[in-house]
Each structure stands twice: as C-alpha cells, then as structure tokens.
Amino acid sequence: MLRPLHQSKRRRLPALAGGLFVLTVVLGFIGIALAALLAGRLSGGLLQAFADPVVRSVLSFTLWQAFLSTLISVGLALPVASALARQPDFPGRVWLIRLMAVPMGLPVLIGALGLIGIFGRSGIINDVLTSLGLSQPISIYGLTGIIVAHVFFNLPLATRLMLSALERVPAEYWLMSASLGFSPLSTFRFIEWPVLARVIPGAAGLIFMLCVTSFTLVLIFGGGPAATTIEVAIYQALRFDFDPERAVSLALLQITVTGAILVGLSLLPSASDTGVTTGRAFTRFDGRRPLIRAADGILLLLVTMFLILPLGQVIVSGLQADLLRLLSQDAFQQAARTSLGVALAAGLIATLLAYGTVAARAEIAGARNAHAGNRLLSLALASVSSLVLLVPTSVLATGWFLALRPRGDIASFAPFVVTGINALMALPFAVRVLEPAYREHRDRTGRLAESLGLNVAQRLRRVDWPVLKRPLMTALAFAMALSLGDLGAVALFGSENITTLPALIYSRMGSYRSTDADGLALLLGAICLVLAMIGAPGRGNNANERETPDAR
C-alpha cells in the first residue's frame, strides 16, 4: 500500500511544481509593477490623490458613469430577459440569444465604431433627424456616449445571466401560476422576482466593475477633462503630460477603488452564465395574451435593432473602404504581423499558465489528505483571477513604465510588456474555459491512468491530449482574440516598435480617416471571427473528441 501511495505522490509533483511556477510568474510580473509603483511613494501617494481636486473630479466621474451604466444596463435587461422567457416561440429567439453573445466577445474598438456610425455626427440617426429639419440633435460623445457604449456591451451580459436563471425555474411553477390565474404582475412578483433577485446583485457588481475599469470606450467617447475616468487619466498623465507622480497617485487610487469593489463583489451571490440559454422551449402561459405578446415583441425587436445596427454598420462601412489598398499598405501588414505575433505569444502564455493552474488545483482536490501547503497553493491559484482584476491594465502598464524608465528606451521593451499584460488579462478567461473540461476528464480517466503506471509524458500524449486538445484550442483562440482587440496596454507603450491593429485603427480615427478605420475594423473583426471558428467547440471524429465538454 505504501508503494502505490508513494508513486501517486510522485506523479502529483509535476502538477504541483507547475502550479507553483504559475504562481511565481504571475506574482512576479505583478509584483515588479507594484514595487516600481510604490517605490518611495508609499507614504503620500494616495493622500495626494484625494487632495487633488482634479483627481477627485476624475474619481467622481468614474463612479458616476459606472453607476448610471450599470443601472441602465440591468434595468433594461430585466424586462428583456422576462420577455424572452415569456415568449419561447418568438421568431428568431434562438438567434437573438446568440446575437447577445457577440458584443461580449467583440473587440471594443469595433463596437465603438459601429455605435459612431449609428449615433455619431454623421451617423444614420442624425441623418434621419436632420432630414426632418433638426440640426444635429444627438451627440454620442461625453457621458451620454459612454453610457450608450457600456449599455451596448453590458445589456446582453445582464440579459443572458437573468435569462439563464429564469430558464432554471421548474415548469410546475408556470403551470401553477396559470391555474391560479396570476396576472403578469403577480407572476413577476411571486415567481420571477425571487429568482432574479438572487442574480441581479452579482450581475450588477460585475458590470459596475467592468465600467469602472473601462478604458477604450472612455478614450473614444470621452468629452475631454469633464468625461475622463481613472484609467484614461493615467494614460493621459504618462502619454501626454509626462507626469509620473500623478500617474502613480491615480494608479494607487485605481487599486483602492477596484479593491473596494472586489470586496463588495465577494459579499454578493455570484452571477454566472451556465450556458442554459440555448433557446430551448418551455411552457409559459402568462405570455399568451395578445397585448403582452405585442409588447414583448416590440421590446425584443427594439433590442435586436439596438444590437444589430452597429454590427451591420461596421460591415457596410468596412465594405465601402478600399480593402485591397488597405491590405497592400505596409502599415497594415506590419500592424497585422505585430498583432498576430503578440496575440499568439500572449495566447500561448495564458493557455499554458491556465493549464498549470487547473492541473495543480485538480491534483490537490483529488488528493485524499492534502497537507496545508498544498491547500494554500490551491487557494492562491484560485485567487489569481481576483488579483488580475485588482491590478488592471493601466496600473500594470504604469508600474512597468516606471520600472523600465531607468533602463533607457522604454519602446524597445514594449512588445514584451504588452505581451505579458495581455496574457495576464486573458488568464482568468482561459482558466474558466479549461477547468470544467479538465476536471471532468480527470474524474473519468484519473484512476485508470494511475493504475496503468503511466508517467507524465505518456499520460499527456496518450490520455490527456486527445481529449483536452479542443478545450486547449478554445482557450488559446479566446485568449488570442482578447489580445487582438486590446488597446489598453499598447496605447501607453505604443510606438514605431509596436503598432497593433487596434492602435492603427485608433490613429486613423484620430486623423479623421474614418473610411480607413472602418475598413481596418472589418478586417480585425474578420480575424477575430476566424479565431472564434477555430476555437469553437465541435464534435470530433473519434470517441475521445466526442467526450469533450462544451467549454464556454
């Protein structure tokens, strides 16, 4: 009995060593940035930030726009999710639910261009209103534009979370409400609201966090000093004002704000999209009245138009650009090579770190008597995602900017820093994609592989790889897509040494070459779509691939 137990412990050592390596890399990368940030500034940086009226104004606007964006996103998602749940036979319901997944995986810059094409000064809405005799009645810039953009990206997220909860309500509840003659208001009060009330706090907290740390949308739609968030203010302090001290104060303020939000999120029930929202039909009797069907239909049609018009605008405007000329330009080719190179490197790093995290946690969970050190390692690895949220992109970029400044030309280090930041930002999502598939696979094959006495290499080649290659490809493709669409890190370090496609699109927008920007956005979207198709879960030809779970 001792020998198999000893062999089992030896087989766990590579996974535990991998987990320790992941923890060292992540903590080291973040620790260097924080050390440079705090060096000699620990005593007064945060107090100076709160004492500065400009910084207080930035903090106030950051929290206010996040509050309004969250309130409107969740407030609109409530009737939309209820309407989708009430109308299982709504034409195109399945496609509307799938459409709601697009903004969550869409590069932010593409969505922003689509919204400008609809609501901008020369957008469709203003053209229609101008033809009616009104002169430029809508402005997409400033607080209004930021809120509209945040609602565009976060309304689908909140709706899917709520709809997922409503679809888990037992069918007997709806049958009982019909037999008791519940009105729509009573159905909402006694059945839907108790379910949604458990989801809304977590969903609202998540959306609030995303809005507080928003960078690209505020950079594009912000109306100058009056509409600037902490993330954008950090970028401006380093990129334009060359004021590292203010950047440090703002970065410390950002860590304080995100830390307080994370503490609040930990006290709320988690909101997770379980993937149940696949359009399955279930019996609802409260949505059959003609007036309710008409109201739900109008609401769902408006939401569909709000989501699909910007996406369609990107396609239409992009096709009007001279795509062949853009493809032949050296600027595009260099930016595309840089983007794909950084995305591939960041994706590989994120996937390998995610695999090391998941493998170590699974081995510790599978041990009968894991000692305190292993349990502590598992807890530390589980906290990596929260640590990444605590120290957002702008703070990491600022820390590394200060750390590398004494070493000379910062631009020469830009590709490595941007790759590292993008990999770290994609790590929590790669873990989420990979962990369910890995745990299910190990539950099925762990004892068999152990009884066969396979070493680490044999187990990886013969047992793990045939089943896990699809989830690994999904995690890689998703991490690459996140990196391809990122503008945060490269905006600070961008130079002639590293110009990515988002940076090139943003520069074309800034020089009023909107047609080129639309064409480049379409090309970037096409690349992301190809990555999504490569990483999309599908059925393989062999038994092992058919066992692969649908990791979303």
- Is residue 547 over pLDDT 50? no
**Higher pLDDT, residue 268 or 275:** 268
Fold of 43-311: MetI-like fold (1.10.3720)
Find, among 388, 478, 465, 467, the residue nearest to 433 by Cα.
478
**Cα(205)–Cα(161) distance, integer angstroms:** 13
- Is residue 469 over pLDDT 70? yes
Please list the alpha-helical segments (H only) found in 452-510: 456-458, 465-484, 488-493, 501-510
pLDDT tens column, 338-371 = 999 999 999 999 999 998 888 888 877 766 656 6
- Is residue 187 over pLDDT 70? yes
Q: Which of 121-125, 324-328, 331-335, 479-483 has the lowest mean pLDDT?
A: 121-125
Contact 212, 66 (CB under 8 A): yes
Q: Which of 190-199, 393-402, 510-519, 526-535 has the lowest mean pLDDT?
A: 526-535
- Is residue 494 over pLDDT 50? yes
pLDDT tens column, 436-465 = 888 877 777 766 666 666 666 667 777 777
**Higher pLDDT, residue 304 or 492:** 304
Mean pLDDT in residue range 86-107: 84
Residue with tokens 């739609």: 221
Domains 1-39+321-552 and 43-311 are alike in CATH topology? yes
- Per-residue pLDDT, 471: 86
- Is residue 298 over pLDDT 80? yes
Q: What is the pTM of this model?
A: 0.82
Q: What percentage of residues in the chain have a pLDDT greater than 90?
A: 19
In whole angstroms, how far apart are CA 327 and each of 102, 108, 333, 480, 483? 25, 22, 7, 21, 21
**Cα(339)–Cα(524) distance, integer angstroms:** 10
- Per-residue pLDDT, 16: 80
**Higher pLDDT, residue 171 or 424:** 424
- Is residue 393 over pLDDT 70? yes
- Is residue 100 over pLDDT 90? no
- Per-residue pLDDT, 390: 79
- Tell the CATH superfamily of the 1-39+321-552 domain: MetI-like (1.10.3720.10)
DSSP state of 88: T
Spans of all domains in the chain: 1-39+321-552, 43-311
